[in-house]
């Protein structure tokens, strides 16, 4: 992954494996500083000046609300002008232009491309292709098929980090990941990031058909990380420090297999939440369906709306890092 690094910092952002603990801590500190500056007099005006000379293309060919708006807000926060393509039928792809040519067009007009595509590996492929042309710009993976979602994982860990500041940080915690774990790219990426830390315990709670993929199990075994597969969420709740809920990813169904699952066993309501520790947290990458009852939102352990807001600050921090501008914050 060395070709993703230039001048000592990340250039393309493709995989959670690119983020080692020191870099995560740096990004978390930058996100904290961005938050602090936005609360100061004229802070927002200063932030908008930092990257006002940059332009970003948001190329989202897979439906997205949170990730798209989060990146859009992050760009606006640090002064980056944006354009977007969200419906290929309104672009030259409708005329038969290939995606490859379309992305090469973007690289001529913009300083970076944030990309979400339903095809696994497409972001990496385009990064290689643009590098080979000699007209490369940074590409940030905003979600790639069922395989990776690195910036979602970063904001997940940032939320955990903030929540556990007074409890020794991310280490020595029990994490439960619940729901469609086979097809949920957010879980996959977050597990890769968390597995860098020591003394963790993972519990994967899912129907057998939607348990974590064998390669993720192999990764945990190689690192010697303790984990268990389970179908009983209620039994585990009293012992967990973090419960990460997910929805059924039935957009990937081949023959309606999601309809065969009693998903109520993998859901949270107020009665179940009361069994959790008082200082535990509940996360969800959103959107949700019925897996978290709306009444749970008012519980202080529910931090998924904070998790959502954190995405804007973390992605702004990442943009500052990619463009080598994070040091500018010290000027304020």
Residues shown for the chain: 332
Neighbour-count burial of 37, counting CB atoms closer than 10 A to its CB (0-12 exposed, 13-18 middle, 19+ buried): middle
Catalytic residue from among 54, 146, 149, 203: 149
Instruction: Specify the 3-state DSSP secondary structure of 221.
Output: helix
Query: Is 67 among the catalytic positions?
Result: yes
HEC profile of 248-261: CCHHHCCCCHHHHC
Query: Is 38 among the catalytic positions?
Result: no
In eight-state DSSP terms, residue 67 is: H
Catalytic residue from among 48, 55, 66, 161: 66
Catalytic residue from among 116, 173, 203, 284: 116
Catalytic residue from among 61, 67, 151, 246: 67
Query: Is 39 among the catalytic positions?
Result: no
Neighbours of 298 (CB within 10 A): 8
Cβ-proximal residues to 213 (8 Å cutoff; 6+ apart), any chain = 182, 188
Cβ-proximal residues to 58 (8 Å cutoff; 6+ apart), any chain = 68, 71, 72, 75, 82, 83, 84, 85, 86, 114, 142
Query: Is 3 among the catalytic positions?
Result: no
Query: Is 116 among the catalytic positions?
Result: yes
Catalytic residue from among 2, 95, 133, 327: 95
Cβ-proximal residues to 292 (8 Å cutoff; 6+ apart), any chain = 245, 267, 268, 282, 284, 302, 304
Q: Which residues are catalytic?
A: 66-67, 95, 116, 149
């Amino acid at each position: 992954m060395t070709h993703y690094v230039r001048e000592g910092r990340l250039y393309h952002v493709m995989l959670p494996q690119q983020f080692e603990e020191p870099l995560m801590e740096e990004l978390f500190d930058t996100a904290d500083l961005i938050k602090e500056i936005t609360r100061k007099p004229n802070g927002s005006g200063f932030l908008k000046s930092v990257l006002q000379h940059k332009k970003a293309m948001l190329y989202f060919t897979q439906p997205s609300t949170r990730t798209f708006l989060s990146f859009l807000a992050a760009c606006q926060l640090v002064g980056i002008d944006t354009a977007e393509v969200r419906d290929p039928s309104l672009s030259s792809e409708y005329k038969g232009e290939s995606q490859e040519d379309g992305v090469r067009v973007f690289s001529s007009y913009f300083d970076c491309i944030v990309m979400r595509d339903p095809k696994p590996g497409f972001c990496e492929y385009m990064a290689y292709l643009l590098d080979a042309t000699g007209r490369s710009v940074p590409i940030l993976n905003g979600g790639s098929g069922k395989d990776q979602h690195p910036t979602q994982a970063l904001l997940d860990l940032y939320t955990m980090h903030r929540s556990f500041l007074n409890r020794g940080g991310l280490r020595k915690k029990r994490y439960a990941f619940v729901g469609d774990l086979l097809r949920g790219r957010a879980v996959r990426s977050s597990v890769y990031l968390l597995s860098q830390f020591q003394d963790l315990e993972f519990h994967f709670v899912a129907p057998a058909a939607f348990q974590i993929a064998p390669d993720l199990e192999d990764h945990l075994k190689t690192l010697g990380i303790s984990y268990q597969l389970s179908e009983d969420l209620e039994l585990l709740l009293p012992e967990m420090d973090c419960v990460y809920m997910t929805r059924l990813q039935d957009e990937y169904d081949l023959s309606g297999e999601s309809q065969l699952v009693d998903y109520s066993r993998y859901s949270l309501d107020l009665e179940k939440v009361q069994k959790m520790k008082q200082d535990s947290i509940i996360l969800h990458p959103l959107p949700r369906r019925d897996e978290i009852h709306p009444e749970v939102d008012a519980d202080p352990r529910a931090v998924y709306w904070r998790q959502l807001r954190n995405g804007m600050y973390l992605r702004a921090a990442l943009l500052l890092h990619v463009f080598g501008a994070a040091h500018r914050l010290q000027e304020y």
